[in-house]
Amino acid sequence: MHSLDLAVIIGYLGLITFVGIKLSSRVKNAHDFFLAGRSLAWWVVGLSIIGTNIDTNSYVGASGNAYNVGIAQANFEWIGAIPAMIIASLIFIPLYWRAGVYSIPEYLGLRYNQGVRVVAALIASVFAVFALGVAMWALALTLETYLGWPIWVGILVSGTVVGLYSIAGGLAAVAITDSIQVSIMFLCGILIVGIGISDAGGFGAFATTLTQDNPNHLQAYLPADSEDFPWPGVILGLGFVLSPAYWIGSQSILQRTLGARTQWDASASMMFAALAKTFIPLLVVFPGILALVMKADIEYPDMALPWVIKNVLPPGISGLMFVAIIAALQSSIDSGVNSTSLMITRDIRHVLIKNHNPEKDLIVGRYLTLVLLLSSMCIAPFIGDLGGIFTFLQTILSLFQGPMLALLLLGAMTQRATPMAGLWTLVSGVLVSAVLLLALEWNLLYVAFVSFCYSMIALWTVSGFTEKLSDEKLATLTYRPWSRT
Amino acid sequence: MIDLPVAWANYISMGIFIFLGCLVWIVPKKAVIADRPITDRWRDLRIWAMVLIALQLGIYWVFS
């Protein structure tokens, strides 16, 4: 590695640690730790949302897929994100904000019952521990590949840097460091596009080469009989279910919006994130297409991005790109530990331990952040062996997406959904998903859509026979802007 | 399902965004502006949404 690249990497790690620790003086209580004292500006939250959303898979995996299928990979950033983000911004974020909750499980607990709250928090937390382990492993692997550090050194250094600012500074430190990290990512993305097109002989030559050799790589969708991404599945499963379930129900994404300084900032942050999301393909899809146009000599598609970094970018810039990959991972890890710590502290501990002391939330939250980081650091070296468990957990999590979206949609948009119907729909909806996915072996995208449809019908029907919440409670927990005018 | 033309996917996507663009204006301005003073027109998030939708329509038109 060039000494200039190394200087860029060390400078970045120092800057992130310094900023994070400096913000720790702001943290006086759990409200400051988990919601940044509701002090964050819309653009900080917006960039932090993007930082949380992008991980290594987005970079390496998406570039590899783009090398194979072309621009269709960008659907995850467009139809698979933008509509749900607009709806989240205009409807769900104002609702969560007015309900005064810290988390999405807490909202579900108020709208339905504490059982739904604990189940939602528990599933998300168990999955998060393994997801953190995978992210930590990927980070250590990246450090080993580029710097030659042994895996254990990579895990130790990454865990220490992330731990220092996320334990000390809470959500404020996480959000502000995320925004620095995302700015670096975009800078690198723009540089790759500029240098790459220039190396390919200009935009005209780039487009001509691509369309001559791979005419389908500029089509937004793959055919309906595509094994991986059939277009009806992408629109119905990704666009209508998985994406909304993520953008209106993911704790790690929405927690930072609840830390915004006003309700308008919270909503604006998601719109700003959606604008940034529109251009994310420049970062994660373009390198794969560039490698194809430049006829990269690679063994498998996931090598596309490393090839571009090594062969296209000059010293200093390649170090910055490497920093962008570290940043993508760090921003996902810090957001994951902070949001999981919140769910265990409040949504599980507050419900299951009746004589808990809310005054201790800050200290419990900090300890849990440390424990979660240490757990992910311990799991990381064995993630290859635990890969089967992670895949299993990922499958389990996907079973919940359809029913959870139905609970959030009908719970927020109507007064009809009742607590008992919510619990039964959650349980039966997961069973329906399990049968379709495990017994009938349907494509996951179709399972998500059908289980969502079933859950909407079940929740609507069962609610007709069971007792609903009082009008007073429903007034703050459902979206009724017209009744307040 | 197998014989559905790929071009339909682009038309459906554009249709979804046009439908969303209409829905956005059903949300009352008061609910969008929320706790900020209604002094600057740029604070109306419905306009932000329209910019995003226009970008998406352009994208799915170009890559059809």
The interface predicted TM-score (ipTM) is 0.94
**pLDDT band for position A64 (50/70/90)?**
confident
What is the least distance, in Å, from the CA of A262 to any CA of chain B? 7
Count of CB atoms situated within 10 Å of the CB of A358: 13
Q: Which residues of chain A have a CB within 8 Å of the CB of B29?
A: none
Q: Minimum mean pLDDT among A256-260, A351-355, A388-392, A432-436: which range?
A: A388-392
CB A127, CB A400: distance < 8 Å: no
CB A346, CB A106: distance < 8 Å: yes
Give yes or no for B12 touching A (CB within 8 A).
yes
Question: What CATH fold (topology level) applies to the domain A3-386?
Answer: Sodium/glucose cotransporter (1.20.1730)
Q: Which two tokens stand for residue B33?
A: 């502006």
Answer yes or no: do A223 and B32 touch at CB < 8 A.
no
Which pLDDT value is given to residue A483?
67
Taking the CA atoms of residue A254, residue A256, residue A257 and residue A258 in that order, the dihedral angle to the nearest 10 degrees is 90
Among chain B residues, the shortest Cα distance to A277 is held by: B52
What is the Cα Rg of chain B in Å? 16
Q: Minimum mean pLDDT among A5-9, A199-203, A291-295, A476-480: which range?
A: A5-9
List the domain boundaries for chain A.
Answer: 3-386
Answer yes or no: do A481 and B28 touch at CB < 8 A.
yes
Which pLDDT value is given to residue A134?
80
- Calculate what percentage of chain A has a pLDDT beyond 90: 26
- Would the pLDDT of A126 be above 50? yes
Q: What is the DSSP string of A288-348?
A: HHHHHHTT---SSGGGHHHHHHHHTSPTTHHHHHHHHHHHHHHHHHHHHHHHHHHIIIIII
Q: Which residues of chain B have a CB within 8 Å of the CB of A229?
A: none
Instruction: Report the alpha-carbon distance of residue A112 to residue A462 in Å, rounded.
Output: 13
Among chain B residues, the shortest Cα distance to A261 is held by: B35
Answer yes or no: do A224 and B30 touch at CB < 8 A.
no
Q: Which two tokens stand for residue A2?
A: 């060039």
**pLDDT band for position A485 (50/70/90)?**
very low
Q: Is A399 exposed, middle or buried (0-12, 13-18, 19+ CB in 10 A)?
A: buried
* DSSP structural state of residue A27: -
Answer yes or no: do A86 and B20 touch at CB < 8 A.
yes
Q: List the one residue out of A58, A102, A136, A47 whose CA is nearest residue A381.
A: A136
Q: List the one residue out of A32, A110, A120 whose CA is nearest residue A343.
A: A120
- Label residues A71-92 b or e (16+ Cβ within 10 Å = b): bbbbbbbbbbbbbbbbbbbbbb
**pLDDT band for position A173 (50/70/90)?**
confident
* DSSP structural state of residue A71: G
pLDDT digits (tens, 9 = 90+) for A384-422: 665 555 566 667 667 888 899 999 999 999 999 999 999
Q: For A324, how many CA atoms within 13 A lie in the half-sphere containing its CB?
A: 27
A472 Cβ contact list (under 8 Å, min separation 6): none
Q: Which residues of chain B have a CB within 8 Å of the CB of A83?
A: 16-17, 20
Q: Which residues of chain B have a CB within 8 Å of the CB of A78?
A: 13, 56, 59-60
Instruction: Report the alpha-carbon distance of residue A363 to residue A370 in Å, rounded.
Output: 11
The single residue listed with the structure tokens 């000390």 is: A168
Q: What type of residue is A98?
A: R
Among chain B residues, the shortest Cα distance to A231 is held by: B9
A226 Cβ contact list (under 8 Å, min separation 6): none
The single residue listed with the structure tokens 């927020």 is: A412
- Would the pLDDT of A271 be above 50? yes
Instruction: Report the alpha-carbon distance of residue A17 to residue A155 in Å, rounded.
Output: 16
Which of A215 and A45 is assigned the larger pLDDT? A45
- Residue from A231, A278, A282 to probe the interface with B (highest B Cβ count within 10 Å): A231
Q: For A323, how many CA atoms within 13 A lie in the half-sphere containing its CB?
A: 29
Q: List the one residue out of A249, A257, A258, A256 whose CA is nearest residue A120.
A: A249
Length of chain A: 485
Instruction: Report the alpha-carbon distance of residue A385 to residue A367 in Å, rounded.
Output: 28
Q: Which two tokens stand for residue A335?
A: 């957001």
Which of A443 and A455 is assigned the larger pLDDT? A455
Q: What mean pLDDT, rounded, does chain A reach? A: 85
Mean pLDDT along residues A257-268: 92
Which of A143 and A392 is assigned the larger pLDDT? A143
What is the least distance, in Å, from the CA of A204 to any CA of chain B? 16
Which pLDDT value is given to residue A412?
93
- Would the pLDDT of B1 be above 70? no
Count of CB atoms situated within 10 Å of the CB of A455: 28
pLDDT digits (tens, 9 = 90+) for B16-63: 999 999 999 988 887 777 666 667 778 889 999 999 999 999 999 988
Which pLDDT value is given to residue A388?
59
**pLDDT band for position A197 (50/70/90)?**
confident
Length of chain B: 64
What secondary structure, in 3-state letters, does A340-403 show?
A: HHHHHHHHHHHHHCCCCCHHHHHHHHHHHHHHHHHHHHHHHHHHHHHHHHHHHHHHHHHHHHHH
Mean pLDDT along residues A132-159: 81
- Would the pLDDT of A101 be above 80? yes
Instruction: Report the alpha-carbon distance of residue A338 to residue A142 in Å, rounded.
Output: 23
